[in-house]
Amino acid sequence: MNLRRLKRQGVLGINARNLLYTQRWNARRGLPNVDDKLATRELCQAAGVAMPAVLAVARTHREARALPERLREHETFVVKPARGAMGNGILVLERREGELLRRGAPLEEAALAYHAASIVSGLYSLAGHADAALIEERLRAHPTFAELVPDGVPDVRVVVYRGVPVTAMTRLPTAASGGRANLHQGAIGVGIDLASGHTTHATFRDRPVRRHPDSDAILRDVALPEFETILRVAVGATDQTGLGYVGADVVVDAARGPVILELNARPGLAVQLANRAGLLPRLRAVDELLAEGDIPDAEERIALGRRIASEHAR
């Protein structure tokens, strides 16, 4: 699959995305709803859309210092910047015999407090603004996903345009990505056929791959669990934001099922490579269909998106 062929297939580039989609459909006043994970949580909570539980929040250096003690009763948890991106500043921690471990290596409580203080100082936030350290319940990969990856929690990125899901991929952590499902860190992107909920092609660092490099699992034609619900929570959360072009990240937790991990107002374009299909024809089809009249309800929009994706699968 080369770039020229993708272009002929209506690939969306960064300039067109900004000009025609994100700037046009994502009003500035809606951006704080997604750029801050605590704000997203409030919206989702109000709408009854599941997100990981929050165990603690530190907004000041004093609260950062107090964190280790507050977290002593928790066996495992995740520390992240509320306004972070691309997996930066995220720690997944667990306890063994009272001691904190990060990816198997001991982490002193003082180092945890220091990390939280760095988050509060804005080390990982956009433009270096002061931030909050968010301590979340640790999610666990649903068995179908756990079979694909030896370590870390995969997610499903769904692009929702004007309330219609138009494309999706699952992102699989690798040893290189340090267990995080971020393509920038070296996670694998696997396209998803929206109609069936089965995986299609996989790409690792923008190149096609057949198997996961760590687990050796074949990545094609995997039936994803609870795919209907994945689309429903993605659309349900997006509906709360007032934004028209959103990347919704959904994790299928082993115990809780699909939950929203975060929303993104500037979703990346690599989803096209993973699906070997450009976005433009799908976005145009949505515009045409929505021009016809009333705004359909969420279930109708999901059905519409699945139909459009099948009609523009190549």
Contact residues for ligand ADP, defined by CB under 6 A: 52, 78, 80, 84-88, 90, 92, 136-139, 152-153, 155, 173, 180-182, 249, 261-262
State which residue, 224 or 304, has the beta carbon closest to ligand ADP: 224
Name which of 314, 225, 230, 239 is nearest 272 in CA terms.
314
Residue with tokens 């990545």: 219
Which residue, 38 or 209, has its beta carbon nearer to ligand ADP?
Answer: 38
In whole angstroms, the minimum distance from the beta carbon of 120 to ligand ADP comes to: 16
Q: Work out how close the CB of 220 gets to ligand ADP at its nearest, in angstroms, rounded to a whole number.
A: 21
Cβ-contact 287, 199 below 8 angstroms: no
Q: Smallest gap, in angstroms, from Cβ of residue 121 to ligand ADP? A: 17
Q: How far is the CB of 83 from ligand ADP (least distance, A)?
A: 9
Cβ nearer to ligand ADP, comparing 11 with 139: 139
Q: State the minimum distance, in angstroms, from the CB of residue 193 to ligand ADP.
A: 22
Q: In angstroms, rounded to a whole number, what is the distance separating the alpha carbons of residues 254 and 269?
A: 28
Give whichever of 177 and 301 is closer to ligand ADP, judged by the CB atom. Answer: 177
Secondary structure (DSSP) of 74-131 = -SEEEEEETT--TTTT-EEEEEETTEEEETTEE--HHHHHHHHHHHHHTTTSGGG---
197 phi and psi angles, rounded to 5 deg:
75, 20
Cα dihedral sign, 293-295-299-302: positive
Q: Closest CB to ligand ADP among 35 and 239?
A: 35
